[in-house]
Amino acid sequence: MLKKIDKNVYASKCPKCGHLHYPAPMRCHECKERRDPSKTVFADFEKVPLRGTCKLLTFTRVYALPDGYDLKYMNFGLVEFENGIRAAGQIMTDDLKLGMPLIAKTGVVKEVIGKDIYGLQFYPCE
């Protein structure tokens, strides 16, 4: 049976010291504990979904998009979540200010042949 698509984006938490990483490295940047996604030799890191409120650190509107994005422009930004994790993603509003609060959700960020790719999209707070 096909696996259900996991639409979440995760930070990964070291099982030994609790340090959060995004994206997941193969060893903890804090205590050097190793990560094993197959869980055969070591444990995998705990997955912590990245969502909820975050702060916009900086942003841009890009007109020259890479091949495959037939859009006039897209907005991108760097955000910081309340747990200190930072991430880049697409911003789904044109009304932007440095430092503004945003809500992180996940959605289709890219379509490749026969498949949707999910990632972080930031929306203005209601």
Partner 1 sequence: MIIDELEKRLRPVEKKLPPYPPKVITLASGEKMVVRQATRDDGPVLLETVRPLIDVERDFYDVVAARVYSELLGWYRYRVADEYCLVGTIDGVIASLVNGRTVNETTGMSYHTITIKRGLRCGAQMFAAKMEYHFEYLKQKEVLIVAESPIGYKRWMIEYQLEARPQVQHELGGVPTHVLTEPLYQAAKPRLVTGQRPVSPQLLATADEFIAPSEYPQIPGFKR
Partner 2 sequence: MRNVGIVGIGHIKFGKLEFELVDIMAWTALEAMKDAGIENGIDQVFVSNMGGGIINRQCGIASALVSNLNLEPAMAELVENGPASGSSAVKLGYMAIASGLANVVLVTGGETMRSLNGWQATDFVATLLHPEAEYNYGLTLPAFAGMFTRLYMEKYGLTEQHLAMISVKNHDNAALNPFAHVRLPVTLEAIYGNPDANVINPYMAEPLRIYDMCPVSDGAASLILCNMDIANRFRKKPIRIAGIGQATDTHCVHNRKDPLELTAVKGASEKAYKMAGIGPKEISFAELHDAFSILEVAESEEIGLFERGKAKNAIELGETRVTGRIPINSSGGLKAKGHPVGATGVSQIHELVKQLRREAEPGRQVKEPNYGLAINFGGHAEEN
Cα angle 49, 79, 66 (rounded to 5 degrees) comes to 95
Q: Among residues 45, 20, 43, 44, which one has the least CA distance to residue 30?
A: 20
Contact between 31 and partner 2 per CB under 8 A: no
Amino acid, res. 110:
K
Rounded to the nearest whole angstrom, what is the least distance from the CB of residue 91 to partner 1 in the complex? 19
Contact between 66 and partner 1 per CB under 8 A: no
Output the CA–CA distances (angstroms, integers) from residue 74 to 13, 49, 60, 92, in the order listed: 31, 24, 8, 8
Residues within window 32-71 making contact with partner 2, judged by CB under 8 A: 57-69
Rounded to the nearest whole angstrom, what is the least distance from the CB of residue 40 to partner 2 in the complex? 23
Rounded to the nearest whole angstrom, what is the least distance from the CB of residue 21 to partner 1 in the complex? 37
DSSP secondary structure letter of residue 51: -
Q: Coil, strand or helix: which one is 9?
A: coil
By CB under 8 A, name the one of 71, 112, 113, 125 that touches partner 1: 71
Binding site for partner 1 (CB under 8 A): 70-72
Binding site for partner 2 (CB under 8 A): 22-23, 57-69, 74, 76-78, 86-90, 98, 109-110, 117, 119-120
